Amino acid sequence: MLFNSITYFFFITIVFTLYWSLLRKNFRWQNLFLLIASYCFYGWWDVRFLILIFISSSVDFFLGRAIFRQTDKNKKLNLLRLCMLINLGMLGFFKYYNFFVDSFASLSANLGLQPNLKTLHIILPIGISFYTFQSLSYSIDIYRGKIQPTNNFISFMAFVSFFPQLVAGPIQRASDLLPQFLKARTFKSDRLISGFRYILYGLFKKMVIADRLAYFVDHIYDSPERFDGMVLLVATFMFGFQIYCDFSGYSDIAIGSARLLGFDLTQNFKTPYLSSSFKDFWRRWHISLSTWFRDYVYIPLGGNQVTQSRWTFNILLTFTLSGLWHGASLTFIIWGFLHGFFLVSEHYLSKVVTLPKSFSWIGFITTFVMVNLAWVFFRAHTFDQSLYIFSSFKNLNFDFVPKALALFAENNKFREFLISIVASFPLFIILEILINQNDFNSLILKRGIILRWSFYLILSFSILIFGVLNAAPQFIYFQF
């Protein structure tokens, strides 16, 4: 069930109506209703995978309580290890089994061995990486003594499966979201309006920007050998904006949907392409995941409270694992490693070179360019394809301009793409610059009623006129 579909519109309308009209006097009944609604939402893709999210949630609920009650440190640690084994075991099997089998087979073949290993036809359960990390962090935080377990099974199950953020985040910590399930929620009109505001802007970014850019990017990256370096470079930077608008658009709709039901989700993006450094970028991009890896991987490794060489290792390992989290492919691993390398290089370079504030634009341009070039590994279908694309950047020319104009004249879809981007992209850039100085909600509220409603109407008409309404692609992060 896609956020940008008529099906979801009817779904959220029904859920909202029943939730606030029939169940608003009892939050426990609301939680049960949200659990049922969330399982219906998730089962819309494949009802068979409901058993996985049920197992993951149940394991963390019961083992979390056992960890809390256990006084023996070794037994407490063993319970946590069991919890991690079950959760990461399911994630590893469904997401990484074939990848590691293929990798081991290739390595063995290079050594002259012929192991009899077979891959399996495994369907990746949608959202498994997100809800596994969310559920697992609950048990880890109990082990660390940061939170106490809940005795309310239904509320915990609803917390893990909460449909607005179930499939692609933001990954919520139990300390932030679970308490909201354990208390009464009251209907507030200002939250309703802010929820619709987030949904509207999310749909604009997804349907008008990301889905239009997808037409061009997919056309180029599906057969990069047909195009020269300049076209591939343009497509690469377009993908940078596509994935940002696609994923941040999803996050905005998730935040807005949750607000309609009385919940606050954490912000997942803060205008990352306006970052002045790689460190700043990772404070702004996919915040819920980057902070998860910081708290549960980087800091346990020693963080920055170690020698410089060990710190370098910690950063590189954390970001390499982050790349692997995104997908079972060498390209994702390289993408993650590259970002770790960027951060390490930036750290050591800052020790020998200090730029005055008047030259801060150098950091902005460097970060923007390198982040977008690294997307090649993220978007390319194979490692060899990514190498071909990078090699093509050696020969850049502007022959693509007359070719694009010819394509504009002949191809209706390309014409729609170009008109839509030219008409809507400036509005998106202006909003990003303004949001960089303010919270999105605060930015709109500071304006008068005429400006606010003009903003709503412009976004609405942009979606209706320029948005991809039929056969829209699914959100990119659904594959992770």
DSSP labels, 312-361: HHHHHHHHHHHHHHH-SSHHHHHHHHHHHHHHHHHHHHHTT----GGGHH
Q: Could you tell me the pLDDT band of residue 110, with boundaries at 50, 70 and 90?
A: low
DSSP 387-422: HHHHHHTTS--STHHHHHHHHHHH-HHHHHHHHHHH
The four Cα atoms 390, 396, 401, 403 give a dihedral, to 10 degrees, of: -70
Long-range residue pairs from 428-434, CB within 8 A, at least 24 positions apart, any chain: 428/204, 428/205, 428/208, 428/209, 428/245, 431/201, 432/271, 432/273, 432/274, 433/271, 433/274
pLDDT given for residue 478 in this prediction: 72
Predicted confidence at residue 159, as pLDDT, reads 95
Among 121, 219, 286, 326, the active-site one is 326
Q: Where are the domains of the chain?
A: 6-187, 191-466
In this predicted structure, the answer to whether residue 84 has a pLDDT above a threshold of 60 is yes
Average pLDDT across the chain, whole number: 87
Taking CA atoms, 14 is separated from 9, 86, 265, 406, in Å, by: 9, 35, 21, 47
Gap between the Cα atoms of 278 and 125, Å rounded? 32
Q: Is 247 in contact with 214 (CB distance < 8 Å)?
A: no
pLDDT given at position 389: 93
The pLDDT confidence band at residue 363, using thresholds 50, 70 and 90, is: confident
Give residue 98's pLDDT: 66
The percentage of the chain sitting over the pLDDT mark of 90, rounded to a whole number, equals 55
- The residue among 115, 125, 102 whose CA lies nearest residue 45 is 125
Residue 326 among the catalytic residues: yes
Look at residue 262 and tell me whether its pLDDT is greater than 70.
Answer: yes
Q: pLDDT of 128-178, one tens digit each?
A: 888 899 999 999 999 999 999 999 999 999 999 999 999 887 999 999 999
Alpha-carbon distance of 261 to 256, in angstroms, equals 9
Q: How many residues does the chain have?
A: 480
Containing 105, the helix (H) or strand (E) segment is helix 73-110
> Is residue 75 predicted with pLDDT exceeding 60?
yes
Averaged over 178-188, what is the pLDDT? 91
